[in-house]
Structure 1
Amino acid sequence: MFNTTVTPTEKPFQSVNWSFNFSKPIIVINSQETIGPEYEGRITFFPSTASLELRSLTLDDTGPYSVSIMHDGLIPSGQTTLVIYGEQISTDLVEFSGSVSLSCSASGSSLSFLWLNGSSEVTASDRVQLTDGGSSLTIINVTRFDQGPFRCRVSNPVSTVTSDPVNLFINGPENINLILPPPQGYFAVGSDTSLTCSVGSRPPAQFNWFLNGDQLLDTGSELRLMNVEMSQSGNYSCQAFNSKTLRSQTSEPSAITVQQSSQLGDISELKKAIPN
């Protein structure tokens, strides 16, 4: 709550300007009211004192706030700094190669603990251990289904509280796929085309491209071939590499054939002559 020292008044202010970090508008009131898009639904303005309430705080709300008011020819202004304290926890784990332990603590008596993965209750199994009265959770040989978010719910006979979430990021790569338009792979000399490589990976994979087994200089998930020549015919493949897991996966090769336009016409006629 940002309270001004302005004496409450029934007469509307000529203008009010609240801003963050001296440049980002929060709310501007003159002949009309304008609210910054990041603050829609998060603020309440009090017109009698020009005070401001800011809700649903995040770490990004830390910084200087300023207000200027025009009233009866005077332009009083003020500023303050808001500091948000918080912590976001994440753990990088490789599928089938690591274990993780989470612990939950709370003050009070007659406490009971419940762990949630998303909206589902976590129960003990061969890979999941609940110890210390349920306040500690250990997952052995984590898989992609263990990525969370995990929350701990603590209750006693009169109240219940739930912790902030913790996410476990499980990495790939897997299910690599090379997409080539058109799928038959015939192109005329001088035409343009592109190949796209997709793969499941967290964090995002790095890509390398190969022609007939030889690595190309191109990187990225898309390989663009511009003004193609016949020498660019061959088998193309992409390789995805994950810097966290140090694993890679290579696609099946896709053949590209670059020919003169007249040859493509002959191929088209031949396909028409072959019955389905």
Structure 2
Amino acid sequence: MTWADKLEEVRFAWLDPLTPTELLVPGDLLSVEGLDTSGIWNPPRPLPTEGPCSGVGSCLQSPSSTAQVTVEVVPPNVAEGKEVVLLALKLPEKFSRVDWFRGYLLPANNIVLLRPNPGNITKGPAHSGKETLYSNGSLLIQNLTIGDTGTYYIQVYTVNSDIIYEEGQLHVSELSPKPNIIANNSRPVEQEDSVELTYKPESPNTTYKWFINTQLVKPSTNLKDTGPYECETSNPVSVHHSHPFNLTILYGPDTPTISPSKLNYSLGETLSLSCHTDSNPPAQFSWFLGKKNLTSTQILSISNLSLHDSGSYSCLVSNQATQLNKTAVINIRVSESVAPPSILASNTTVTEGADPVVLTCLTNDTGVSTQWYLNNKDLQPAERRKLSADNRTLTL
């Protein structure tokens, strides 16, 4: 048994240690360290090392009793500057006194005590002016600060001289601040640089989540994911989102494309070629005919084409920020206009299954190609029709 098990009631005119100007009334309990039943002072035994009485020279332990008291913290998570109620539940129907303590059950830690008869409430040394004790034993604490975090004990004296205590844990949290996103590289290059996004300000006991396009950021996120990014900060009492943050990513140019894809032009026509690519910042364009620099615009236009305009045209796209460039090539052929051809048939009147018919395409133009059509559709060689090597002659 510990020294606390030896405590006995003392029914003399003792001064209340919490309110020295008041005498203890009959039924009040006074714990005296080292006092035995004979009233003779004995040295105290070792003190408990755990619980609300650890290190306390004078502490009341709850004797065996069927009475129970519980403490419910409402709300369970509370923000700085708000208020909380420590609800005292399952109190005995009749009790002689209720005390609230902040921390260990020491007189100096007493916040407030209630004597139901005659309904007297006395503020203790630990009362800060923010606490209000209700007649049902519950304790209201207003204008909370982080310093109010801790363990609170209620100690109840029953009319049967039993002492019951219970604890409640109060945790006060700061409101998480609205985060602001900062990037360590304002102009990263795709597939070359990395970017670190951080939030400011930092806040203790805070959980952070990152979102891109309202979706949680995945480890596979790459620099083409420009955003918007958002940071969410949360703690038990608040949730905040940063303003959307978009990355400016430098990339490209991609391999360009040239349009239209038309390759053959006639003398006197106009050539208009457009070059397209994806790049940030926008690419610069240069057109070449062979090695000759023609223009530095996205669109190349040449009117009244001549035979000398035939050749290999290339579009060079470049990005000064990424120091990259790409090229696309198209081969243009300019030809003289051809006169309408005519067809010479070896026989215009034929009999099915008789001798073959030879059709010849006649033209005075040179360097031209020949194509045969049947009912406005390309005519291809088949079992009973043959084309000459230059396509000038069709045998049926």
Smaller-chain TM-score range?
A: 0.5 to 0.7
- Corresponding residue number in structure 1 for 2:333: 257
Contact kept in structure 1, 2:253 and 2:283, CA below 8 Å: yes
Shift of 1:107: 6.6
Asked whether 1:208 is paired with 2:286, we answer: yes
Alpha-carbon shift at residue 156 of structure 1 (Å): 2.0
Q: How many residues align?
A: 171
Structure with higher Rg: it is 2
Structure 1 partner of 2:259: 179
- Which runs of 5 or more residues in structure 2 are unaligned? 1-180, 342-364, 381-396
1:155-179: CA deviation from partner (whole Å, max 9, x where unpaired): 2223322112222213111131111
* Shift in alpha-carbon separation, 1:269–1:101, aligned structure 2, 3 A: closer
The superposition leaves residues 136-190 of structure 1 with CA deviations (integer Å, 9 ceiling, x where unpaired) of xxxxxxx443322222111222332211222221311113111135x2x111211
TM norm structure 2: 0.39
- Matching of residue 191 in structure 1 with residue 269 in structure 2: yes
Q: 1:121 — aligned with what?
A: 216
How far apart in 2 are the matches of 1:160 and 1:95? 33
Contact preservation (8 Å) 2:182, 2:200: no
Whole-Å separation in 2 of the counterparts to 1:88 and 1:259: 61
Deviation at 1:204, TM superposition (A): 0.6
Could you say if the C-alpha distance between residues 153 and 256 of structure 1 is closer, same or farther in structure 2, counting changes exceeding 3 Å? same
Would you say the 8 A contact 2:182–2:197 is kept in 1?
no
Which of 359, 365, 372 aligns to 1:272? It is 372
**SS of 2:372 mapped into structure 1:** helix
For the 8 Å contact 1:147–1:170, the answer to whether it is kept is no
Paired letter, 2:310: S
SS in structure 2 of the partner of residue 175 of structure 1 = coil
Question: Kindly, what percent of the aligned residue pairs are identical?
Answer: 30
> Normalized per residue, which structure has more strand?
1
TM-score, normalised with respect to structure 1: 0.54
Q: Secondary structure at the match of 1:237?
A: strand
- Return the letter of the residue paired with 2:207: S
1:49-198 matched pairs, under 5 angstroms: 91-106=186-201, 110-124=205-219, 143-168=222-247, 169-181=249-261, 183=262, 185-198=263-276
- Distance across 2 between alignment mates of 1:97 and 1:263: 58
Distance 1:167 1:248 in 2: 26
CA distance in 2, matches of 1:107, 1:145: 28
- Provide the secondary structure at the position in 1 that maps to 2:304: coil
TM-aligned CA deviation for residue 91 of structure 1: 2.1
The match for 1:247 is 324
How do 1:17-56 residues align onto structure 2 when only pairs under 5 Å count?
Answer: none
**RMSD value, Cα:** 3.1
Alpha-carbon contact 1:186-1:264 (below 8 Å) kept? no
Which protein is richer in helix relative to its size? 1
CA–CA distance in structure 2, aligned partners of residues 264 and 229 of structure 1? 21
- In 2, the alpha carbon distance for the partners of 1:232 and 1:196 equals 17
Contact 2:233 2:241 in 1 (8 A): yes
CA distance in 2, matches of 1:255, 1:226: 17
1:220 to 297, 322, 325: 297
Instruction: Label 1:110 to 1:264 Cα distance change in 2 as closer, same or farther (>3 A).
Output: farther
Which amino acid counterpart does residue 261 of structure 1 have in structure 2?
S
Aligned residue identity for 1:256? I
Give how far 1:88 is off.
10
Alpha-carbon contact 2:190-2:224 (below 8 Å) kept: no
